Structure 1
């Protein structure tokens, strides 16, 4: 059973941190989903569906926290994406090299794991699921299509800012070699778009297309997971996330398909953890994110009017991710981690016009990190991730003046966290 002092700690910790996350936006790594949700997880490139690291492990697989014990974990990431495009002979889109500003984003996370008297655990967690951001300056636009306007799309400063926050309560239990977890999850989205007035003729409601400030969307989803110890050295893990049916962005009903509908896609992950000896573990994960099932994201740019049922979207394809990680405990005080992930690119050459707003084209991710045990109860986690530049080139439709655009993005992030065991 719960004890009152436990809930007094968990509730304020998680929800105060949750409130602090909302104003920030960022471009995440696998499409717009985050690479990992804690410093320890990022150290192995987000791998670990079959492994338990800490109280934040439930963000990867709800079953992972069944064996963690009572623990409180905080983390903080500084995320720095560099993104932009190079246009040649474009119509209403600025030609030349244009880079987005706002290159640093704070991303916190927190989790509290509480064992129950029946051998199960309940876990509270708050973390950023992902996001995307571009902030293009009000540059000179000399193309005839602009008719005197300025900025990337003739509407001054341009870009989008999307943040997704997850707050979950997980119930998990281990029974013999089998562990399971179920996590009802509240999602909160914040979104803003600027400088898109040039698309007014393509929208069912030009008053709800751009420059309407920050709008919010809410919804519920379910995350499920299991782990099974195939042997003393090999563990199988499977986790899945349902599609989140979110409330509509009313202030952007003329931008997103279905009158402002922007759901969060489903995903599934399967993987293995192999421990050849007590101080070493190797991780392998495969994940698929179903972006194409969310019309606002997956519909083609020429599917119809913006904001209409079945209308235009960003044209994103599903993303598949392979993650490899290793963790080595070099001493009782020190653990080291390394990881690599490869994600397929969701943006095709035919979708670069809208892709300028969300150039999530990166593919390869390299990470390094570790943990330092500073006393019997407290541990410091850290990690660094690097994503080299990737580009996608394609034509600008003749209806938008023609030309070409090459999208580019690279990323760098650093994370640090504190974990206390009780």
Structure 2
């Protein structure tokens, strides 16, 4: 029974997460997503509080349950261009270009949160199960796009990826005074990763292999501080440590049916968050800034080719995330919310080629949400999100055989690979207060 529960939660929640900010979800649940993910100093709901600042759960009394489910739509497009050569190997001056659209379809996105504590107690506790991270694309094999041509013809064939991370958090917050709280949250993580073809494996004469879906577990923690002036102004800060994972162990099958295995380590980056909040009359305003430390995270900090032509890592830069949200409570029993999220791009042009399996980079995200307060104990939440990548992520096609002539990664002269995408999300959920 003890092993069944985490496996069930993993199956339920890990299918959900297709990320927005790097490979990180910008928010959790209908309310927090509709505020652009801003919650470090403005705890409007328990899901956002548990995700971004464990100290803020001290503002909630009683036993509160949140559950949300969403439908996520994404539309990545992959473009590539290569120079054409004649029979003697000389460039003709012509170029072969094409594009491939993703056919992944719809992904579900659930979130579960629970907080409990007595009104006259300084202690508050929480439990959360969130799909907090992921990426995934499915670009079918194509004879009209060079990058998706069969490996026997110099392309990669069908390109498919599926990364998912479920995080379970156990939260404790202590109210030092009526204005100041601290919180701590140990976190337990389950992740799966599938890559086709698998660039982290050594290729053989037939190319890069396909692989099974590998899983790994990891641990980490989050700590937070929260100040509420009781005059409307609020401030908060939190630090989520690197989530340290075991290696993913892949069982690979090459196109010639030979088999091999390899391992790859990919941790979840540390996140630093600071936030401001202001509540007055019918308005709640939230502003968050986050720094995501990819540059010191295994799997993202290194890049390039190994001596056996496998890929070392994604080579991502640190990113900045700005989230802002406004809630208006002037309509009886119907709070309305608007949110915006900006995220910088962790992928520079030198490593765009290595990141074809992880194209889910959204620069601008816009959200609208509302709550219907059916009773003192029960509320229904809904939100809509639209995001876009703000243009293409672009770079040259790389080949390890060219690394000596065109360092550092072997860029093919005259080539190009690029990708962009839009995302849409519809989410609904409920809040239920068991006692107050």
Deviations 1:359-412 (A, max 9, x none): 133211111101110112100111111112431222113637551112111111
The reply on whether 1:66 has 2:70 as its aligned counterpart is no
Cross-structure match for 2:219? 220
Of 263, 273, 280, the residue aligned with 2:267 is: 263
Q: Give the distance between the partners of 1:396 and 1:300, measured in 2 at CA.
A: 15
Matches within 5 A, 1:68-107: 68-69=60-61, 70-89=63-82, 95-107=97-109
Q: Give the distance between the partners of 1:273 and 1:349, measured in 2 at CA.
A: 37
Q: Give the distance between the partners of 1:72 and 1:289, measured in 2 at CA.
A: 29
Return 5+ residue gaps in structure 2 as ranges.
Answer: 85-95, 254-261, 403-410
Matches within 5 A, 1:376-415: 376-389=376-389, 390-397=391-398, 399=402, 401-402=412-413, 403-415=415-427
Q: Give the distance between the partners of 1:229 and 1:142, measured in 2 at CA.
A: 56
The structure richer in helix per residue is 1
Task: Measure how far apart 1:87 and its partner are.
Answer: 0.8
Cross-structure match for 2:405? none
Q: 1:17 to 1:279 in 2, by over 3 A?
A: farther
Q: Give the distance between the partners of 1:18 and 1:293, measured in 2 at CA.
A: 27
The 8 Å contact of residues 212 and 252 in structure 2, kept in 1 or not, is answered as: no
Cross-structure match for 2:195? 193
Q: Give the distance between the partners of 2:110 and 2:34, measured in 1 at CA.
A: 16
Q: 1:252 to 1:264 in 2, by over 3 A?
A: farther
Task: Measure how far apart 1:103 and its partner are.
Answer: 3.0
The 8 Å contact of residues 38 and 323 in structure 2, kept in 1 or not, is answered as: yes
SS of 2:429's equivalent in the other structure is strand
Deviations 1:48-78 (A, max 9, x none): 1101122212111111211122201100121
Q: Give the distance between the partners of 1:202 and 1:271, measured in 2 at CA.
A: 50
Q: 1:142 to 1:234 in 2, by over 3 A?
A: closer
Cross-structure match for 1:233? 232
Cross-structure match for 2:407? none
Q: Give the distance between the partners of 1:155 and 1:333, measured in 2 at CA.
A: 54
Q: TM-score, normalised by structure 1?
A: 0.86
The structure richer in strand per residue is 2
The reply on whether 1:315 has 2:327 as its aligned counterpart is no
Q: Give the distance between the partners of 1:160 and 1:99, measured in 2 at CA.
A: 14
Deviations 1:200-242 (A, max 9, x none): 3499xx99x7422111100110011111124511111101100
The 8 Å contact of residues 69 and 109 in structure 2, kept in 1 or not, is answered as: yes
Matches within 5 A, 1:131-150: 131-140=134-143, 149=152
Of 401, 416, 420, the residue aligned with 2:428 is: 416
Of 49, 55, 59, the residue aligned with 2:40 is: 49
SS of 2:22's equivalent in the other structure is coil
Return 5+ residue gaps in structure 1 as ranges.
Answer: 1-11
SS of 1:232's equivalent in the other structure is coil
Deviations 1:320-350 (A, max 9, x none): 0111111111234110100111110111111
CA RMSD of aligned residues (A): 3.1
Cross-structure match for 1:182? 184
Matches within 5 A, 1:203-218: 210-218=209-217
The 8 Å contact of residues 53 and 68 in structure 1, kept in 2 or not, is answered as: no
The 8 Å contact of residues 253 and 261 in structure 1, kept in 2 or not, is answered as: no
Cross-structure match for 1:9? none
Q: 1:120 to 1:74 in 2, by over 3 A?
A: same
SS of 2:166's equivalent in the other structure is strand
**Higher radius of gyration, 1 or 2:** 2
Q: Give the distance between the partners of 2:308 and 2:16, measured in 1 at CA.
A: 27
Q: Give the distance between the partners of 2:338 and 2:150, measured in 1 at CA.
A: 52
Task: Measure how far apart 1:421 and its partner are.
Answer: 1.0
